[in-house]
Amino acid sequence: MRDLLYSCFFFFMPFTQALTFNVGFPLKFSELSLFLLGLTYLLFNKKILLPKKLILLVSALFFMITISVIVNLFWKYPYPLREYESRFGYTGDAIAKYIYFGLALLSFFISVDIFLTDRKKYTAIWIYGSLAAAAYSWYLVIFSALKMHVYLLPGMIDPPQTINGTIIRCGTFLEGNIMGLYLVLSAALCLYVKKIKYGIFLLISVITTFSTLSIISAFVLTFIYLQHKIFQRKNLGWGFAGIVLLAAGLFFFSQTSLYKMYVHDKLFARTDRITTEAGLSKLDRLYTFESAYNTALANPVLGVGLSNFSRHYDKYLPATNDAGIRNFMMKKNSKVIPNNIYVELWAENGIVALLVFLAFLGLLLLYAREDRSKALLGGLVCMMLCFFAYPTFTMIYLWAFMAAPVAGYISHKVETE
């Protein structure tokens, strides 16, 4: 039974935003397996081996977020809070996200145990699930680009997220950025267990998400994974040739409309005169980030509570004389998210929670040094890069991946002792 639940948890992980069961709050196949695993671990008093420093940091993060949630359930602010359509009510949304944060931590603990139980077997199951998700993503992109009918998985939002209102870019998740990072991290696991061909396919599949940071991350992961081989004396010639070919490929790519629309304009488009959709997206992110940053500065210790940034969004939205921009940024009756995990943690949970989370990520980087392939290190670096434009830190697959370097460190420590 435990083997079945382990396999179901990893395989169906990329389908958690598509196959949805509304049981109080969304419980999906992967999360349902996780929930049953948690009960099983408690029932049989199953202990998980974890380093002491890691336990302290995770405990501190849990404590700070818990205090922030409790305080902000009752705290009264001296200004009217923004109203919008919420899923379970404002208090219900905060509690639901707190529960989901608990599930994310549970996925981290249990994933450490899964990797320690049989790293090769269960990593392969994760990879098979990612290959299925990537194949489906190609199907959605190609068929929607050709304006052919597509069959959506049960529970998927219809219509899904698209580019230019036509090409479906979200794969099996709600949005392209989430799918893109999932593919990058899955590719890192492929490289970690030497399934190189699968890793290459997943990295190429990142293109289907049209996620700028995910596409950049695919190159970052490739460089980190290959750098120790590229700079070996015997491989310098091949490495130089590879760099030249890559530079040539990037040059020709930079001349395409695809590069201009989804890379250049998103990073360098002017915001004082909006002429493109990418420029509008950049403006949106900048204003939202500044509002979250101002919220964090005004509530530095405990923040405004999980899922509560949107209620304070109007109060801290930057001023502008452009009525069109102001009306666009007001986002009436919509829930706004910071779209940046670092400022999200600071604004909603306070500076201490942010610093603890950063220390936790730093510790993971240290643990990843035990992986000689550098694939896990590359995956973590890409994850931290994508966090600058990512919707939430409670996504379960993030915490499941973060368990891999921890399990590798524990295994190495046991072997050396």
Give the tens place of pLDDT for each residue, 238-284: 556 666 766 776 666 666 665 666 565 666 555 555 556 666 677 77
pLDDT given at position 173: 92
Residue 28 CB coordination number (10 Å): 20
Residue type, 156: M
Give the tens place of pLDDT for each residue, 45-94: 888 889 999 999 999 999 999 999 999 999 999 999 998 888 888 899 99
The three-state (H, E, C) secondary structure of the chain, written as one string: CHHHHHHHHHHCHHHCCCCCEEECEEECHHHHHHHHHHHHHHHCCCCCCCCHHHHHHHHHHHHHHHHHHHHHHHCCCCCCCCCECCCCCHHHHHHHHHHHHHHHHHHHHHHHHHHHHHHHHHHHHHHHHHHHHHHHHHHHHHHHHCCCCCCCCCCCCCCCCEECCCEECCCCCCCHHHHHHHHHHHHHHHHHCCCHHHHHHHHHHHHHHCCHHHHHHHHHHHHHHHHHHHCCHHHHHHHHHHHHHHHHHHHHHHCCHHHHHHHHHHHHCCCCCCCCHHHHHHHHHHHHHHHHHHHHHHCCCCCCCCCCHHHHCCCCCCCCCCHHHHHHHHCCECCCCCCCHHHHHHHHHCHHHHHHHHHHHHHHHHHHHHCCCCHHHHHHHHHHHHHHHCCCCCCHHHHHHHHHHHHHHHHHHHHHC
Reported as a pLDDT band with limits 50, 70 and 90, residue 331 is confident
pLDDT given at position 306: 93
pLDDT given at position 310: 92
pLDDT given at position 286: 85
pLDDT given at position 260: 63
Lowest mean pLDDT across 27-36, 60-69, 221-230, 403-412: 221-230
pLDDT given at position 264: 59
Averaged pLDDT for residues 301-305: 94
Give the tens place of pLDDT for each residue, 145-185: 999 999 998 878 888 998 878 899 999 998 999 999 999 99
Give the tens place of pLDDT for each residue, 97-131: 999 999 999 999 999 999 999 999 999 999 999 99
pLDDT given at position 265: 62
Greater confidence, 8 or 276?
Answer: 8
pTM: 0.90
pLDDT given at position 20: 58
**Helices 375-386 and 351-367: angle between axes, nearest 10 degrees:** 160
pLDDT given at position 196: 92
Q: Report the mean per-residue pLDDT for the chain.
A: 87
Give the residue extent of every domain in the chain. 2-416
pLDDT given at position 164: 76
